[in-house]
């Protein structure tokens, strides 16, 4: 049985990846940092699987800022594969806590690579680094043919991306220096019903569900014209697994070739609950109202403005498609529909439980 170590599965990618690896008969070790509140709702269901009786999902407490603990764990577990997903991954937050972001995302990656060397696993342990699409800064509008690929020049535009750039290069450096199997996935935005609530897609689908259920009045957003290549996280975790099954380490861009605005995602989400929005320009910004009721439902709040922004990127993922035969299964509209439906179901259930005085408690920690 192969052993995989995933640095954190309490959120989106890690939880889908853990499901996938358990199905493939891996023994999965996962790291979790201590939290004063329960935060394992995305993985609690895995412990209910009948398969878990015969296979293994093992929890270890750790933190990417704690070298000694990482060395101890890697030495004890001796994993065949390490998937480094842990990160302070919120771009706007990284402007508020740049030093912590660098410590966790950049130095954390270095600590993990060193832990592999200290444990003498350089020749046996494969390392996956979750890199990010926005390392490349912005699209050159004058050269629309210049889609980015693995070799394009980089220009990160936030402390988060600067930290991820270091992480990508230190992984490349360990590959070249010590002949370690280190591969980077350069990933675009991938979303799902398990997405953290402050990323724009989940913020939108949660608000739409609450507005539909009369639990929220309005949704406040910022840059509605920003374009993103959104796709389903399930498609991406399959790609993560594939990259470590190759004979040689390499870096790959993962993208779908489709880009849509935040405005599009808002419209699609409201369409899912049969609300048709109309735009209105005020003297400073724009507002959206429900055509049927004339109620204002979406407004712009400058609070979310970022000191530097990436408005638009297009990527060429032909290498991943040709070498790994990776092809996404979900469309962005299917993703949006799944997220809205899942949030409606979640809030209905929460309201029902509240009405009956129940609280859901986590039992696996
Ligand atoms: P996410 O929802 O932000 O989850 C990140 C995980 O890292 C959380 O479980 C968090 O733990 C953990 N973490 C944060 N600080 C930590 C620390 N000091 N020590 C240990 N763990 C820590 O991220 P995601 O969307 O699943 O993405 C997974 C990875 O892919 C990240 O590295 C991200 O940068 C990268 N990526 C994501 C996207 C995307 O669109 N989703 C695109 C490109 C790259 P807590 O649960 O304790 O907070
Ligand atoms: O913003 C705009 C915002 O925070 C998308 C991370 O997973 O993907 C993610 O980073 C766009 C931006 O994701 C709001 O200004 C408008 O242009 O969902 P986001 P992100 O910054 O693209 C990359 C690839 C990663 O690596 C990251 O880890 O939407 N936007 N109004 C807003 N964004 C947020 N969060 N909230 C708003 O109200």
- pLDDT at 358 exceeding the cut of 70: no
Residue 298 CA to its chain's centroid (Å)? 25
Residue 81: strand, helix, or coil: strand
- pLDDT by residue (tens digit) across 282-327? 666 778 889 889 899 999 887 777 887 777 767 788 888 888 888 8
The residue among 283 and 115 whose pLDDT is bigger is 115
Atom number of ligand 2 nearest to Cα 164 = 26
- Tokens (6 digits) for 335: 């993703």
For ligand 2, what atom is nearest to the CA of residue 91? Answer: 21
Please pick, among 134, 191, 272, 338, the residue that the annotation labels catalytic: 134
Q: In what helix (H) or strand (E) does residue 261 lie, and over which residues does it extend?
A: strand 260-261
Which residues have any ligand 1 atom within 6 Å of their CB? 8, 10-14, 33, 35, 39, 63-65, 85-89, 104, 130, 132, 187, 189-190, 196
The more confident residue out of 265 and 257 is: 265
* 60 in Cβ contact with 29 (< 8 Å): yes
Residue 217: its H or E element: none
Residue 157 clears pLDDT 90, i.e. is over it: no
Closest ligand 1 atom to 131 CA? 44
Amino acid 360: pLDDT: 53
Catalytic residue list contains 132: yes
Asked if 197 is an active-site residue, the reply is: no
Predicted local confidence at residue 124, as pLDDT: 96
Taking residues 71-100, what's their average pLDDT?
A: 96
Catalytic residue among 26, 83, 128, 160: 160
Mean pLDDT of 77-106: 96
Q: What is the pLDDT of residue 284?
A: 64
Residue 261, judged by CB atoms within 10 A of its CB (0-12, 13-18, 19+), counts as middle
102 lines ligand 2 (CB under 6 A): no
Across 168-182, 227-241, 341-355, which has the greatest mean pLDDT?
168-182
pTM higher than 0.75, yes or no?
A: yes
| pLDDT at position 107 over 50 | yes
Which of 29-33, 35-39, 127-131, 158-162 has the weakest average pLDDT? 35-39
Q: Are 155 and 309 in contact (CB under 8 A)?
A: no
Atom of ligand 2 nearest to the CA of 191: 7
334 is catalytic: no
Our CA angle for 81, 84, 89, nearest 5°, is 165
Residue 343 or residue 30, greater confidence: 343
Cβ distance 289 to 278 under 8 Å? yes
Q: How far is CA 341 from CA 37, 79, 334, 336, in A?
A: 26, 38, 11, 9
The answer to whether residue 354 scores a pLDDT higher than 80 is: no
Longest dimension (CA), the chain: 66
Ligand 2: distance of its center to the CA of 197 in Å?
A: 11
pLDDT of residue 108: 97
The answer, yes or no, to whether residue 199 has pLDDT greater than 90, is yes
Residue 140: pLDDT over 60:
no
Instruction: Give the residue, out of 136, 190, 222, with the most ligand 2 atoms within 8 A of its beta carbon, to mutate for a pocket test.
Output: 222
Instruction: For residue 305, give the ligand nearest its CA.
Output: 2
Tell me what pLDDT residue 260 has. 92
Token pair for 317: 């993922």
Task: Compute the distance between CA of residue 53 and CA of residue 58 in angstroms, rounded to an integer.
Answer: 12
**pLDDT above 70: percentage of residues in the chain:** 92
Nearest alpha-carbon partner for 248 in 179, 186, 317:
179
Q: What is the pLDDT of residue 52?
A: 65
132 lines ligand 2 (CB under 6 A): yes
The tokens describing 327, both together, are 């092809």
Alpha-carbon gap, residue 214 to 344, rounded angstroms: 11
Q: Is 199 in the pocket of ligand 2 (CB under 6 A)?
A: yes
Residue-level pLDDT at 352: 82
């Amino acid at each position: 049985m192969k052993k995989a170590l995933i640095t954190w599965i309490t959120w989106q990618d890690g939880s889908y990846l853990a499901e996938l690896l358990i199905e493939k008969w891996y023994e999965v070790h996962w790291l979790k940092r201590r939290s004063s509140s329960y935060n394992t709702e995305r993985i609690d269901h895995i412990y209910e699987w009948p398969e878990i009786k015969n296979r293994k999902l093992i929890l270890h407490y750790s933190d990417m800022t704690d070298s000694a603990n990482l060395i101890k764990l890697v030495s004890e577990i001796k994993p065949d594969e390490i998937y480094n997903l842990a990160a302070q991954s919120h771009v706007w937050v990284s402007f508020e806590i740049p030093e912590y972001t660098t410590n966790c995302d950049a130095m954390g990656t270095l600590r993990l690579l060193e832990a592999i060397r200290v444990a003498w696993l350089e020749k046996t342990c494969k390392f996956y680094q979750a890199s990010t699409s926005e390392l490349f800064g912005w699209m050159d509008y004058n050269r629309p043919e210049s889609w980015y690929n693995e070799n394009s020049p980089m220009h990160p535009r936030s402390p988060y991306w600067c930290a991820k750039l270091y992480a990508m290069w230190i992984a490349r450096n360990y590959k070249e220096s010590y002949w370690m199997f280190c591969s980077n996935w350069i990933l675009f935005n991938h979303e799902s019903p398990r997405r953290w609530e402050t990323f724009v897609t989940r913020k939108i689908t949660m608000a739409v569900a609450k507005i539909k259920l009369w639990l929220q009045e309005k949704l406040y957003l910022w840059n509605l014209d920003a374009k993103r290549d959104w796709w389903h996280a399930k498609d991406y975790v399959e790609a993560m697994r594939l990259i470590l099954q190759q004979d040689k380490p390499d870096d790959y861009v993962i993208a779908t070739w489709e880009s849509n605005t935040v405005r599009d995602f808002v419209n699609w989400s409201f369409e899912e609950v049969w609300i048709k929005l109309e735009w209105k320009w005020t003297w400073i910004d724009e507002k959206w109202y429900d055509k049927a009721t004339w109620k204002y439902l979406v407004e712009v709040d400058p609070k979310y403005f970022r000191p530097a922004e990436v408005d638009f990127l297009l990527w060429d993922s032909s290498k991943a498609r040709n070498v790994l035969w990776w092809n996404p299964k979900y469309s962005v509209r299917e993703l949006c529909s799944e997220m809205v439906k899942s949030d409606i179901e979640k809030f209905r259930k929460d309201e029902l439980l509240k009405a009956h005085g129940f609280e859901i408690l986590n039992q696996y920690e």
